[in-house]
Amino acid sequence: MTKREETSIFVEQYGRQLPAVYTDFRSEYSAATTAAGIYDSSYIGRLKAIGEDGLDLLNRMSTNKVIDLDIGEGAVTVLTTDRGRIVDVLSVVNQGDYRLLLTSPGQQQPVIDWLDKYTILEDLVIEDISTDTSMLSVIGPNAAELVGLSPHQFSQDSLTIQSVTMNGIDTLAIGQPLGSLSRYWLIVRPDNFVGLWQHLKNEGPLRSVPTQ
């Protein structure tokens, strides 16, 4: 059974049909706050910034210090205009040979256009990989165990990324806490999404939770 077949209510958001509820809100809230919940977060934009000057340009054009991010580290930063207006809030992760940027839903092109405007001599190319990848999220006290990671591997005040294999599926796991709750963004190829979803459900105990 796919996640669509087990979901009764869908809503239109960000140009996608997204689940509003799987079972009932009470059990889904309980899962996310006492065990672990999973949800489809593919609506979040994913950009690949390639080139040696990626972190330097982002450091100059956003509010947080990202220039010193080591491989596997990340941070949240606000991309602003020259007048201080917000373009988008980005999650920036240094993946070594490229930088992964998570954008707000539908903000991929505005972010690309704004960074391209100031890419003159810099070594930087930005690709939108949102349709080339899928992403789901695991949230809750048991999220780390479900993903197969030790909680101490992810800082509570920054982003970190590492490669994991779950049920034979190569996955990028980004740790980004949501308040006091552990949360992991899991990025896979689209053809592996359903397999990873089913694997996480079978590992339980957890419930699928909506995206709202």
Do 69 and 96 fall into the same domain? yes
More confident residue, 2 or 165: 165
- Residue 201 in tokens: 């459900």
For residue 37, what is the domain's CATH number? 3.30.1360.120
Query: Would 97 be classed as within a structural domain?
Result: yes
Gap between the Cα atoms of 34 and 40, Å rounded:
19
Based on its alpha-carbon atoms, the radius of gyration of the chain, rounded to whole angstroms, reads 17
Do 120 and 140 fall into the same domain? no
Do 185 and 137 fall into the same domain? yes
**pTM of the full structure:** 0.86
Domain final residue pick, 69, 102, 128? 128
Do 175 and 145 fall into the same domain? yes
Domain final residue pick, 75, 106, 128? 128
Query: Would 28 be classed as within a structural domain?
Result: yes
Q: What is the pLDDT of residues 124-175, one digit of tens each?
A: 999 999 999 999 999 999 999 999 887 765 555 579 898 999 999 999 999 9
Do 38 and 137 fall into the same domain? yes
- Mean pLDDT estimate for the chain: 87
Structural domains of the chain, count: 2
Query: Would 179 be classed as within a structural domain?
Result: yes
Do 68 and 107 fall into the same domain? yes
Q: Are residues 91 and 74 in contact, defined by beta-carbon separation less than 8 angstroms?
A: yes
Q: Which residues contact 131 (CB under 8 A, 6 or more apart)?
A: 190
Q: Are residues 38 and 166 in contact, defined by beta-carbon separation less than 8 angstroms?
A: no
Q: What is the pLDDT of residues 60-69, one digit of tens each?
A: 999 999 999 9
Domain final residue pick, 74, 104, 128? 128
Position 119 scores a pLDDT of 94
Do 38 and 49 fall into the same domain? no
Query: Would 200 be classed as within a structural domain?
Result: yes
Position 178 scores a pLDDT of 87
The pLDDT > 70 percentage for the chain reads: 82
For residue 189, the enclosing domain spans 9-42+133-208
3 pLDDT more than 50: no
Query: Would 123 be classed as within a structural domain?
Result: yes
DSSP the chain: --TTTT--EEEEETTEEEEEESS-HHHHHHHHHHS-EEEE-TTSEEEEEESTTHHHHHHHHBSS--TTPPTTEEEEEEEE-TTS-EEEEEEEEE-SSSEEEEE-TT-HHHHHHHHHHT-SSS--EEEE-TTT-EEEEEESTTHHHHHT--GGGS-SSSEEEEEEEETTEEEEEEE--BTTB-EEEEEE-GGGHHHHHHHHHHH-S-EE----
Categorize the per-residue pLDDT at 5 as very low, low, confident or very high, splitting at 50, 70 and 90. very low
Q: What is the pLDDT of residues 102-129, one digit of tens each?
A: 999 999 999 999 999 999 989 999 999 9
Do 88 and 154 fall into the same domain? no
- Can you tell me the mean pLDDT for 172-198? 93
Query: Would 193 be classed as within a structural domain?
Result: yes
Do 49 and 102 fall into the same domain? yes
Do 19 and 61 fall into the same domain? no
For residue 54, what is the domain's CATH number? 3.30.70.1400
Do 13 and 82 fall into the same domain? no
Tell whether omega for the bond before 141 is within 30 degrees of 0, i.e. cis: no
